[in-house]
Chains A and B, each alone.
Chain A
């Protein structure tokens, strides 16, 4: 036996201190490629991404087509009316109040009205979001505001209940599953198969091996989740060249990246901390369940308990009472209206208070005015609920990511609420213009028709959404960084045996 009194220095040719990362990556890649699970999981995911993109495009185009059709019909109607008015001699007798005649303010303003339509947001294909619950057009007439806002788009309620297969759902709910499926056995699987011992007996740290494993998986997942979606956006013809849109699309993909990074950190933590592949899979499934289903559901319950949505039923009763009161005071109201609007007193004979059209318009005007505070209070309570939920989103990275992704896609409801507010303002302008005509009692002319207010939605610049999602995205980044820090600390403690 030789004695080793002093440590001997290795006598061989100096060797590279560490295994090239490329070796580890190539090996991981080869293992994954030969794994049936990868083929099944990745191809399922790719198919679902393509389907979701197709569904998003279909939805977005159908919505846009409906709005376009309605606008075209409005324009055609206007042209037809103006043509008809050109042929009516100026000395023709004025139309009856309810006649289907373009000269009748009632017909034009109360019966036919105009459409206020919302264009699809440029990146609407990325998320259906709330757009299946929130109508993208309203028929604006002189009728009460509440009646106008009651009109919903037709949709099978079961489809609303189920939710849509859009890219946001795929990213928020399914991407973590893909990450989990690829990663749950990355350490425990090798330990259980026995290969880990042999790897650990080599001069390479398990940290390095594990990080290589994550890197290869991340490359696959992100190639699909980000690469495929980016290609899909181009193929689907999203207007990326429009100002700001490309930035928003890039932020969307960045959010996907951050969200995926978060889940990879969780997968890594579970791989390191949970012994046994089966137990790891269960743990990941549990974290997923909490983040994607349980916490959002509980957030919902808390929001409903803390800020219950005010009762529409009560609101209806209130507006009925307001209508009854306004009806009872109709004559007084009309006189007051004329007093407030001296410029309309010209047609005094018509405005005697007996004319049904002016009378009913006045009543509706009064109902809208009387209901305004209640409606404002109603909206305020909804906003309080929304604010609570926005805070509670922090409890679930999935809710957080969903919020950011839908906001960036423009279908989270914020843009729609601005559209609804514009519609309400337009409704007011339309009602006032028609009312003025009706009170004056003069038949409408082609010029007057052309001068009626038109709806225009003050679309915010595409990238105006960025500051709004900044906070949530930052929180998501912090969560991902925290999870990664935890994972990197834990990874140092991993042992082969």
Chain B
């Protein structure tokens, strides 16, 4: 019985010219998005790898010079392109692609690609994720809004129920029928997607489990939409009402809600202006914070502490370069301040993200988007992880320079020149992103809400079908 219904639904849908057209258009868009994403990944991976190698080569090629001067020369960290960004480039166009790692200062990421794009880019990028998040639900609306309502309007529903077909079987049959029709688009798209990722030759052991989780997430998302739209169809008097209702829901939750919620998050959890942010850092550095003394005072205290530690009267009697020690102490104090402010800012972003995720209770696309970006390695959390890794590397590098100066520049301080071999003692910057586990923990809320939506969609459908009237 169920198989008969599924087959009939499936056949009926495939015979509908509009459905065929929509399916072909969607598949073409998905294929185009994958090709476009793949080309971009190829280009960016190569460009960033070359740049990272070049900046490392610049670092190693420095002549003999003072280590502190080398620390000022610094090195660039280029944000790597994740392979899965092919599917969803997330916030990548809106975060800087590089940061300069130098002494004393934690620099911000510079050059957001979107700034070098035209205003048209704000309308949206062609990615598989956007297509899946926005357009597949629309295809579901097209396929499912009439499922019950059209049959009710044409009177065939009355006949079916009169034949003794159980409403529940009918509901399941329609759901699986639509799912089968969706499969016609989504199965080839998945194959293409996997092929695109494997073809890029990244770390498949890292990428494929993430892609697998993404498939799970999208299935939950589509199941939710399917359940809700079919439930609307089961309750609506006519196909027109069902369609208007489902389209309205799509527009409110996927077009309007993300922007509305973003404004809400901005209002509830405001972020400081860049000027205020730097001013606060400067003030903490100069005047001190939370019981920490200001820079001048702290350095004076440090001098006294060092003298006491080495039991000498003046810095010239120290067995090490005081300038090196002083620089390192300056870094330590500076890092405390930078950590404090950056952590606060990142936490603010995370708080805004929580507002967004919580709002996914009314707009599932928000949860799906967060999960998709997270698994693709293109969400804010991944950017933060990279920024912190880069900052960690900066500290390693600067500390190594200061340590060399402390050891070897006694008496000569800033006139001391380190040998070129020093540069190679600091390893190259190597970055591994957060693990799948960490990403899933980060987005556990989004995953839970998606799951709840899927279950809710099925329950809504079951409830609507249980009270099915012809």
| Chain A residues close to B by CB (< 8 Å) | 37, 41, 44, 48, 51, 55, 58, 62, 66, 69-70, 115, 129-130, 133-135, 137, 139, 150-165, 169, 173-174, 177, 181, 184-185, 188-189, 192, 276-278, 281-282, 285, 289, 292-294, 296-301, 303-304, 309-314, 316-317, 320, 324, 382, 385-386, 389, 392-393, 399, 402-403, 406, 412-413
Do A154 and B277 touch (CB < 8 A)?
A: yes
User: In whole angstroms, how far apart are the Cα atoms of A189 and B248 in the complex?
Assistant: 17
Which residue of the partner chain B has the closest CB to A137?
B275
Q: In the complex, are the beta carbons of B124 and A296 less than 8 A apart? A: yes
Query: Given A157-B380, A282-B142, A399-B120, are A151 and B126 also a contact pair (CB < 8 Å)?
Result: no
Residues of chain B within 8 A of A309, CB atoms compared: 113, 116-117
Which residues of B (137-167) have their CB < 8 Å from a CB of A?
138, 142, 145-146, 150
With both chains docked as a complex, state the minimum distance between the C-beta of A277 and any C-beta of chain B, in angstroms. 4
With A55-B263, A313-B48 in contact, do A129 and B271 touch (Cβ < 8 Å)?
no
Q: Is B115 an interface residue (CB 8 A)?
A: yes
Select which of B51, B260, B275 is within 8 A of A316 by beta carbon: B51
Contacts A51-B263, A300-B126, A399-B123 given: A37-B244 contact, CB under 8 Å? yes
What is the bound-complex CA distance between A276 and B256, given in angstroms? 27
Question: Chain B contacts of A185 at CB under 8 A?
Answer: 240, 244
Cβ of B54 under 8 Å from chain A: yes
Q: How far is the CB of B385 from chain A (nearest CB, A)?
A: 14
Is B420 among interface residues, defined by CB-CB distance under 8 A?
no
Neighbour of A151 across the interface among B54, B108, B146, B349, CB < 8 A: B108
A199 to B240, CA, bound (A): 21
User: Can you list 24 residue pairs at the A/B interface with Cβ under 8 Å?
Assistant: A51-B260, A55-B263, A66-B275, A130-B119, A133-B94, A133-B114, A151-B108, A152-B96, A156-B265, A157-B91, A165-B256, A165-B260, A174-B256, A185-B244, A278-B239, A292-B123, A297-B126, A300-B117, A312-B113, A314-B47, A324-B58, A386-B118, A389-B118, A389-B119
A55 contacts which chain B residues (CB < 8 A)?
263
Task: Say yes or no: A382-B124 contact (C-beta < 8 A), given A164-B259, A289-B138.
Answer: no
Partner of A403, one of B55, B119, B240: B119
Q: Contacting B273 at CB < 8 Å: which of A58, A153, A188, A412?
A: A153
- Residues of A near B238 (CB, < 8 A) are 192, 278
A164-B262, A293-B134 known; A385 vs B123 contact (CB < 8 Å): no
Flag if B240 contacts A277 (CB, 8 Å). Answer: yes
| Residues of chain A contacted by B76 (CB below 8 angstroms) | 316
Question: A51 CA to B266 CA in the complex, in Å?
Answer: 13
Separation of A146 and B94 alpha carbons in the complex (Å)? 19
Residues of B within 8 A of A392 (CB): 120
Nearest neighbor of B286 in chain A, beta-carbon distance: A100
In the docked arrangement, what's the CA distance between A41 and B134, Å? 21
In-complex Cβ contact of B115 among A134, A181, A278, A385 (8 A)? A134
A-B contacts besides A159-B266, A281-B240, A300-B124, 15 pairs, CB < 8 Å: A51-B260, A51-B263, A66-B275, A133-B114, A150-B110, A152-B110, A159-B352, A163-B122, A165-B259, A296-B123, A314-B51, A320-B58, A389-B118, A389-B119, A402-B119
Given contacts A150-B111, A296-B120, contact A181 B91 (CB under 8 A): no
Q: Is the CB–CB distance between A192 and B240 below 8 Å?
A: yes
Minimum-distance CB pairs A-B, first 4: A296-B123, A157-B91, A157-B94, A150-B110
CB distance A157 to B95 under 8 Å? yes
Is the Cβ of A163 less than 8 Å from the Cβ of B259? Answer: yes
Q: Which residue of A lies closest to B92 (CB)?
A: A157
Contact pick for A282, options B18, B115, B118, B379, CB 8 Å: B18
Is B36 positioned at the interface, with any CB of A under 8 Å from its CB?
Answer: yes
Interface residues of B (CB under 8 A from A): 18, 29, 32, 36, 47-48, 50-51, 54-55, 58, 76, 78, 90-91, 93-98, 108, 110-126, 130, 134-135, 138, 142, 145-146, 150, 238-240, 242-244, 247-248, 251-252, 255-256, 258-260, 262-263, 265-267, 271-277, 345, 349, 352-353, 356, 379-380, 383
Please indicate the chain A residues that have their CB under 8 angstroms from the CB of B32 in the complex: 301
Contacts of A281 in B (CB 8 A): 240, 243-244, 247
Shortest B294–chain A CB gap in Å is 13
Identify A152's interface contact among B108, B258, B353, CB under 8 A. Answer: B108
CB neighbours of A58 from chain B (8 A): 267
Query: Could you tell me the distance between the alpha carbons of A165 and B263 in the complex, rounded to whole angstroms?
Result: 7
Given A293-B123, A296-B123, A320-B58, A313 and B47 contact (CB-CB distance below 8 Å):
yes
Report the Cα distance A403→B120, complex, angstroms: 9
**Shortest Cβ distance from B182 into chain A, in angstroms?**
17
Chain B residues whose CB sits within 8 angstroms of the CB of A413 once the complex forms: 119
Q: Which residue on chain A has the smallest CB distance to residue B127?
A: A297
Per the bound structure, the CA–CA distance linking A132 and B256 in Å amounts to: 19
**B108 touching A278, Cβ below 8 Å:** no
Q: Inside 8 A of B50's CB, which chain A residues have their CB?
A: 313
User: Complex formed: what's the CA distance from A298 to B130 in Å?
Assistant: 13
Select the residue from A70, A297, A399 with max chain B CB neighbours within 10 A: A297
> Is the pair A385, B118 in contact by a Cβ cutoff of 8 Å?
yes
- Inter-chain contact A300/B259, CB cutoff 8 Å: no
Is the CB–CB distance between A300 and B123 below 8 Å? yes
Q: How far is the CA of A129 from the CA of B115 in the complex (A)?
A: 12
User: Closest residue of chain A to B239, judged by CB?
Assistant: A278
Rounded to whole Å, the gap between the CB of B351 and the closest CB of chain A is: 10
Residue of B nearest to A317 (CB): B54
Give the CA-CA distance A150 to B142 in the complex, in Å: 46
Min distance, Cβ A405 to any Cβ of chain B, angstroms: 11
Cα distance, A41 to B29, chains bound together (Å) = 31
**What's the least CB distance linking A31 to chain B, in Å?**
16
B352 A412 Cβ-Cβ under 8 A: no
Give the distance to chain B from A163, nearest Cβ to Cβ, in Å: 5
Contact in complex: B142, A278 (CB < 8 Å): no
Partner of A297, one of B123, B252, B352: B123
Report chain A residues within 8 Å CB of B273: 62, 66, 153-154
Assess the A294–B29 pair: CB atoms within 8 A: yes
Question: A313 touching B51 by the CB < 8 A rule?
Answer: yes
Q: How far is the CA of A310 from the CA of B43 in the complex (A)?
A: 12
User: Which among A44, A115, A154, A188 is the interface contact of B345 at CB below 8 angstroms?
Assistant: A154
Known: A69-B275, A301-B126. A189 touches B240 (CB 8 A): yes
Looking at A66, A165, A413, the one whose CB has the most chain B CB atoms below 10 A away is A165
Contacts A297-B126, A316-B98; A158 near B91 (Cβ below 8 A) = yes
Q: Are A313 and B98 in contact (CB under 8 A)?
A: yes
CB neighbours (8 Å) of A130 from chain B are: 119, 122
By a CB distance below 8 angstroms, the chain A residues around B239 are 278
Within 8 Å CB of B150, what residues of A? 278
Shortest beta-carbon distance from A320 to chain B in Å: 6
Given known contacts A181-B248, A282-B18, A159 and B124 CB-to-CB distance under 8 angstroms: no
CB-defined contacts of B48 to chain A, threshold 8 Å: 313
> How far apart are A413's CB and chain B's nearest CB, in angstroms?
6
Q: How far is the CB of B276 from chain A (nearest CB, A)?
A: 7
Residues of A within 8 A of B138 (CB): 285, 289
Residue among B78, B121, B242, B352 facing the most chain A CB atoms (10 A cut-off): B121
Q: How far is the CA of A184 from the CA of B239 in the complex (A)?
A: 13
Verify B262–A165 contact, CB threshold 8 A.
yes
The reply to whether A412 and B119 contact each other, CB–CB distance below 8 Å, is yes
Given the known interface contacts A164-B262, A297-B125, A386-B118, the answer about A157 and B256 at a Cβ–Cβ threshold of 8 Å is no
8 Å CB contact of A181 from B93, B94, B244: B244
Contacts of A293 in B (CB 8 A): 123-124, 134
Out of A41, A139, A159, A403, which one reaches B265, CB within 8 Å?
A159
How far apart are B102's CB and chain A's nearest CB, in angstroms?
Answer: 11
Measured in the bound complex, the distance between the Cα atoms of B341 and A154 in whole Å is 13
